Amino acid sequence: SQTIHQWPATLVQPVGSPLSLECTVEGTSNPNLYWYRQAAGRGLQLLFYSVGIGQISSEVPQNLSASRPQDRQFILSSKKLLLSDSGFYLCAWGMEVKQYFGPGTRLTVT
C-alpha cells in the first residue's frame, strides 16, 4: 500500500530564515505530487504540482519554490521566510483521479 511522509511535523522559524520541507511517497511510481497551504483550518491553496522529476508548475507567485529531485520526493523551499508564510503545509500525491494527503507540517514564522 502507498504511504506519504512529511517532515518535520512542526517548525518555528524566524522571519528571514530559509525553509526546507520534505515529502516522500512510498509504494507507488511516478505519482503526481502537490504542495498545498492551508490557513486557519480551511481553504486549501495549491502552491505547486509536479508530474515528473524536475517538472514543477507554480500556481501562485510567492517567495516559495519547489523541487522534485527524485521520483517520489518533493521539497518545498524558501530563501527568506515572511510572516505571511505561516500556515499548515500539506503534501499530496495523486494517481489517476484521486489524491491522497500527508500528515502536514505546521509552520510558524516569528
Catalog residues that contact other proteins under the rule CB under 8 A: 32, 34, 41-46, 49, 51, 59, 90, 92, 94, 97-104, 106
Beta bridge partners of 73: 24, 70
Is-contact 34 48, C-beta < 8 A?
A: yes
**Pick 13 or 38: Cβ nearer other proteins:** 38
User: In the complex, what is the shortest distance from the CB of residue 25 to other proteins, in angstroms, rounded to a whole number?
Assistant: 13
34: its cell numbers: 502537490
User: In the complex, what is the shortest distance from the CB of residue 56 to other proteins, in angstroms, rounded to a whole number?
Assistant: 13
DSSP string computed for 8-71:
-SEEEE-TT--EEEEEEEES-SS-EEEEEEEETTEEEEEEEEEEETTEEEESS-SSEEEEEEET
**Pick 16 or 43: Cβ nearer other proteins:** 43
**Pick 18 or 52: Cβ nearer other proteins:** 52
**Pick 8 or 16: Cβ nearer other proteins:** 8
User: In the complex, what is the shortest distance from the CB of residue 101 to other proteins, in angstroms, rounded to a whole number?
Assistant: 4
